[in-house]
Amino acid sequence: MCVVNLPSERSQPRTHWRVTGWLLAAVWLFFLNIPLLTALHQAEVWRRVLGASTLVAFGVTYVCVFQWARARRQAHLGVPRGRAWAFLALLLGLGLAGIPGTSGDWLTTLVFVAAAAVFLMPTREAVVVVLLTALTPPVTAALVPGWEAEGTVVFAVLLASFAMFGVTRLAQRNAELQAAQQEIRRLAVAEERARTARDLHDILGHSLTVVAVKAELAGRLLELDPTRAATEIADVERLARQALADVRGTVGAYRGVSLAAELAGARSALAAAGVAAELPETVPRLPAEADELFGWTVREGVTNVVRHSGARRCEIRVDGSAVEVRDDGRGPVGEPGAAGHGLVGLRERARRLDATVTVGRRPGGRGFLLRVALPAGS
């Protein structure tokens, strides 16, 4: 009966909350002192034993039911209606069973029945039970000779029900808060994983593309121009080391991207791929976040030109508000999904600065355009 540990994927409440739960359940047991004293003062032994034992069983059952229901609320499992009614019937039955030992003071157990109803049942059903338990003392006093109307029991029933309503709402809000905190932690982990995956894709996608192009070029030049081939192999080694450093920097969360560095890398990558490049000689002075965004744009645009477009010419334009990467090829749309991850990451970065990303065919001509523009006035 008194088993309250429920299997759940959610974390269990902390120790101090578990202790608080037991205290909240047990604090009301002081109401049982009146029927317990009545039972202990019975002249006949069997009445004393019956009254005391039923009250002990009643108290233990009440505390265990409270903790069971509280554990289910913590786990967001809900309380089955049939089981709630069964528990109330059990509590009421234990209270009635002790009448030979507790006499009219058994009515005190109705305080716990009402409180349990509030904690176990939906509001409407709980209100019905509370009203019935509150009406029971005056009704039984009128029907049973020798029993006095217990106004204090009626007051205690209403007070305990009101207090338990507050405890129920507190438990519900606490469970919702724990669920919200767990969801925040889960989303934070998911966001960090997505950020790391995006950065690794952008870094390695560009670097490995250039490495592959230079390695292929070195292979073709190995017999025709060994000196040029050696130069390209040296570049492959340098790019591989740079990619390794970038990966380490990403894992350590201290790596940055700048527009000037990406333009220099773009010149080398386009030359190795045999793409005629038209790049700006100077770059405008930009805020750090805008400079980084434009650097990522150049990296993504040049990676797509080298990897997917089949272009012969690439032009990069930069001013204080926008950056464009143009080519005369077919663009990444020629290979479905080829640039999807990189462009998704670029759009996420642009969204942080309210920048707009334009991707598609160049207007009025053959080729592909990638453009990122900052909002006006930035």
Q: What is the pLDDT of residue 1?
A: 44
pLDDT, tens digit, 9 for 90 and up, residues 250-263: 655 445 678 988 89
Average pLDDT of the segment spanning 170-194:
71
Q: Which 8-state DSSP code applies to residue 181?
A: H
pLDDT at 179 over 90: no
Higher pLDDT, 7 or 93: 93
The gap between the terminal CA atoms of the chain, to the nearest Å, is 67
Cα separation values, 357 from 102, 308, 344, 372, Å: 80, 19, 10, 5
With bands split at pLDDT 50, 70 and 90, how would you rate the model's confidence at 355? very high
Do residues 36 and 59 touch, judged by C-beta distance below 8 A? no
Range of lowest pLDDT (125-129, 286-290, 299-303, 338-342): 338-342
Q: What is the pLDDT of residue 10?
A: 43
Highest mean pLDDT among 10-24, 77-91, 176-190: 77-91
* Complete DSSP assignment for 10-41: SPPPPHHHHHHHHHHHHGGGGGGHHHHHHHHT
Range of lowest pLDDT (12-16, 34-38, 208-212, 245-249): 12-16
User: Hey, where are the domains in the chain?
Assistant: 15-183, 195-373
Q: What is the pLDDT of residue 322?
A: 93
Q: Mean pLDDT in the chain?
A: 78
pLDDT at 142 over 90: no
Q: What are phi and psi of 318, to 5 degrees?
A: -135, 135
Do residues 259 and 318 touch, judged by C-beta distance below 8 A? yes
Bridge partners (DSSP) of residue 360 are 369
Cα separation values, 6 from 9, 11, 75, 120, 210, Å: 10, 11, 8, 17, 56
Q: Which fold has domain 195-373?
A: Heat Shock Protein 90 (3.30.565)
pLDDT at 324 over 80: yes
Higher pLDDT, 255 or 377: 377
Residue 56 contacts by C-beta under 8 Å, 6 or more apart in sequence? none
pLDDT at 318 over 90: yes
Q: Is 377 exposed, middle or buried (0-12, 13-18, 19+ CB in 10 A)?
A: exposed
Higher pLDDT, 256 or 108: 108
Range of lowest pLDDT (43-47, 243-247, 365-369): 243-247
